[in-house]
Amino acid sequence: MLVGWLQGKGLLDMFTIGVSLAVAAIPEGLPIVVTVTLALGVMRMVKKRAIVKKLPIVETLGCCNVICSDKTGTLTKNEMTVTHLFTADGLHVEVTGVGYNGTGEVLLHGEEIHGFSNTSVSKIVEAGCICNDAVIRNNTLMGRPTEGALIALAMKMGLEGQQQEYVRLEENPFSSEQKWMAVRCVHHTQQDQPGVYYMKGAYEQVIRFCSYYHSKGATLPLNHQQRELYQQQKSYMGSSGLRVLAFASGSEMGNLSFLGLVGIIDPPRSGVKEAVGTLISSGVAIKMITGDSQETAVSIAGRLGIYTKGSQSLSGEEVDQMDLQQLSQMVPRIVVFYRASPRHKLKIVKSLQNIGAVVAMTGDGVNDAVALKAADIGVAMGQTGTDVCKEAADMILVDDDFQTILSAIEEGKGIYNNIKNFVRFQLSTSIAALTLISLATLMNFPNPLNAMQILWINIIMDGPPAQSLGVEPVDKDVIRKPPRNVRDSILTRSLLIKVLVSALVIVCGTLFVFWRELQDNLITPRDTTMTFTCFVFFDMFNALSSRSQTRMVHEMGLCSNKMFCYAVLGSIMGQLAVIYFPPLQSVFQTESLSIFGKKDMLAH
């Protein structure tokens, strides 16, 4: 403005243009585009069965480089089915059938067992039925899936009625900390008796309460040899991917009789292995946290591609023994945390954050809430999650499916790219407008654009074409790119180079047209109209090239973003109205261009 005034140009004209440039230079559309882009991303994620409670989390998903996931229900189907029994006296029993119903058989040496035909087997099934809070009605489970599998086993043997035959006098409920459940019951015909304890839970916990074992209807002292046998069988069943439960009964809690082991299969969800492979190949580490035994956890993790050669596992007890600094040094190498409880999750999250990781943590219980709150992205389960857990989380998986996390990360990366595309378009247009006026002033040319024309360009810059860049479809290859560093600026070196190149092309092209029009040394409305229209059309091509940072227009598809096509078409129609509609001609100081003028502009 000062240079123009010193050159003898009108102070009011220069002031008006200066204010117009100041308005054009401020990217006031950026907050709107960011908010709308994030909101639209949230709406798209709802269709993919993920509910995001906080808008900034959508963008944070693109930075996530560690996912700590529960096993049961997230990586697996949480559809438990008993497939194998091992009795305390050494019998191996196979179980057929799936689902929460009585369809299937319990087979010993190929022959079906039913009712109390085999005491060793029926004792385990009876204990699993009595020490149980689940109910199956019309093939529908009400209760925990693990307990549902035990009721289904009892149905296959015709022993499901035992649950109603006993009156419960006392209960020690299951918890993730103690990993066992026990009840004291008495038969409804013998309610004057002290009752019998039935226990189920993790083998290493149940065996601590046992002094005897059950063998063909008799009770024998539990010796070291028997303990070794049970440990071997537990390890064998666990390494097959089975969740192993141990059962015991007796009149005193400290002197129970060991009844045997039950192996329950919980198959991995379809598509999870592929999702895990995609995430790991893109630089996202997956860590599985489960209450299961080491053998079971490692087996399932191996099937899903989480646990590979050279991977390590760590128990919840070992996590307790380490301080935060020791765990931080070790946690990058650990992919499976077994026999872990919710209180271990918080320590795992903090140890990962100590080494600069951006952590997503899944959870479903009340005790998981603290870890979910501490994680960068807390993910609650929509079906099995408690209200407390959902309240603490940033995102809720409606279907409890791990694949939904992959979709959410993909959406987060795509949204961030769309914001970068918008920033590129806005900055290049602003810089081009500022540079054009500045160069024209320094070269002592008349002003190529008047104040109203600059403001019209600003409307296009912040208007429909710019907004439509925020709804660009997510590039399918974006998920394969590594997570970005959370500390990285949005204005990277490559982005700035692209901005400057785009601005240079717009300025050079527009100045060339303006210079050609000025060869008669007279500035006319036609000259500014040609320059103005040239700038707008250059800007439309700039918007087209800003749709992607890595792909060409023909690779994306010209009409893949219909909103962008409509926005550009609307902007061109608006530009034609500014040129040819008389009331707007007087406002923008334009004049109609003949067909020769258009040809001339295109030739330039």
Q: Residue 313's beta-bridge partner residues?
A: 336
Q: What is the CATH number of the domain that holds 353?
A: 3.40.50.1000
Mean pLDDT score, 423-449 = 82
Query: Residue 430's domain spans which residues?
Result: 1-27+415-588
Task: Kindly state whether residues 144 and 158 are assigned to the same domain.
Answer: yes
Task: Kindly state whether residues 298 and 251 are assigned to the same domain.
Answer: no
Mean pLDDT score, 183-201 = 90
Task: Kindly state whether residues 574 and 467 are assigned to the same domain.
Answer: yes
The residue type found at 218 is A
pLDDT of residue 74: 86
Task: Kindly state whether residues 88 and 191 are assigned to the same domain.
Answer: yes
Q: What is the pLDDT of residues 377-396, one digit of tens each?
A: 999 988 888 899 999 999 99
- Could you tell me the CA-to-CA distances from 146 to 70, 82, 92 in Å, in that order? 16, 9, 20
Rg (CA), the chain: 35
pLDDT of residue 432: 87
**410 pLDDT higher than 70:** yes
Band the pLDDT of 473: cuts 50, 70, 90: confident
Has residue 32 been placed in a domain? Answer: no
- Rounded to 10 deg, the angle between the 451-462 and 11-25 helix axes is 0
Task: Kindly state whether residues 364 and 444 are assigned to the same domain.
Answer: no
Has residue 603 been placed in a domain? Answer: no
Last residue of a domain, one of 243, 265, 287: 265
Average pLDDT, whole number, for the chain? Answer: 87
Task: Give percent of the chain with pLDDT exceeding 70.
Answer: 94
Which strands make up the sheet holding 285-289, listed edge to edge? 50-52, 395-397, 377-381, 359-363, 66-70, 285-289, 334-338, 312-315
Q: What is the pLDDT of residues 76-116, one digit of tens each?
A: 888 899 999 999 999 999 999 988 888 899 999 889 999 89
pLDDT of residue 14: 67
d(CA 405, CA 278): 12
Has residue 33 been placed in a domain? Answer: no
Q: What is the CATH number of the domain that holds 569?
A: 1.20.1110.10
Contact 287, 252 (CB under 8 A): no
Closest by CA to 160, choosing from 130, 188, 202, is 130
Last residue of a domain, one of 204, 231, 265: 265
Task: Kindly state whether residues 127 and 253 are assigned to the same domain.
Answer: yes
- Where is average pLDDT lowest: 28-37, 61-70, 405-414, 559-568? 28-37
Has residue 57 been placed in a domain? Answer: no
Has residue 278 been placed in a domain? Answer: yes
Task: Kindly state whether residues 174 and 245 are assigned to the same domain.
Answer: yes
pLDDT of residue 329: 93
Mean pLDDT score, 210-222 = 92
Kindly report the pTM of this predicted structure.
0.81
For the question of residue 70 being annotated catalytic, the response is yes
pLDDT of residue 386: 87
- Could you tell me the CA-to-CA distances from 532 to 433, 529, 569 in Å, in that order? 11, 5, 17
Has residue 55 been placed in a domain? Answer: no
Q: What is the pLDDT of residues 455-469, one digit of tens each?
A: 888 777 667 888 888
pLDDT of residue 7: 53
Task: Kindly state whether residues 89 and 178 are assigned to the same domain.
Answer: yes
Number of domains the chain contains: 3
- Could you tell me the CA-to-CA distances from 67 to 254, 309, 485 in Å, in that order? 41, 20, 16
Band the pLDDT of 3: cuts 50, 70, 90: low
- Where is average pLDDT lowest: 298-302, 445-449, 588-592? 445-449
d(CA 415, CA 55): 11
To 10 degrees, the CA torsion angle through 432, 438, 441, 447?
40
Closest by CA to 382, choosing from 16, 46, 152, 23, is 46
Q: What is the CATH number of the domain that holds 128?
A: 3.40.1110.10
Q: Which of 13, 70, 266, 399 is catalytic?
A: 70
Has residue 599 been placed in a domain? Answer: no
Task: Kindly state whether residues 338 and 486 are assigned to the same domain.
Answer: no
Contact 36, 462 (CB under 8 A): no
d(CA 371, CA 369): 6
Task: Kindly state whether residues 114 and 168 are assigned to the same domain.
Answer: yes
d(CA 136, CA 139): 6
Closest by CA to 422, choosing from 52, 37, 84, 71, is 37
Q: Count the Cβ atoms, other than its own, within 10 Å of residue 404.
A: 23
Mean pLDDT score, 124-152 = 91
**604 pLDDT higher than 60:** no
**598 pLDDT higher than 50:** no
Last residue of a domain, one of 204, 230, 265: 265
Token pair in block for residue 231: 């440990």
Has residue 405 been placed in a domain? Answer: no
Contacts with 477 (C-beta within 8 Å, 6 or more apart), sequence order: none
pLDDT of residue 11: 67
Query: How many helices (H) does the chain have, and how many strands (E)?
Result: 25, 21
d(CA 260, CA 199): 11
Task: Kindly state whether residues 187 and 85 are assigned to the same domain.
Answer: yes
Q: Where are the alpha helices (DSSP H) in 187-315?
A: 203-206, 224-239, 272-281, 294-304
Task: Kindly state whether residues 162 and 105 are assigned to the same domain.
Answer: yes
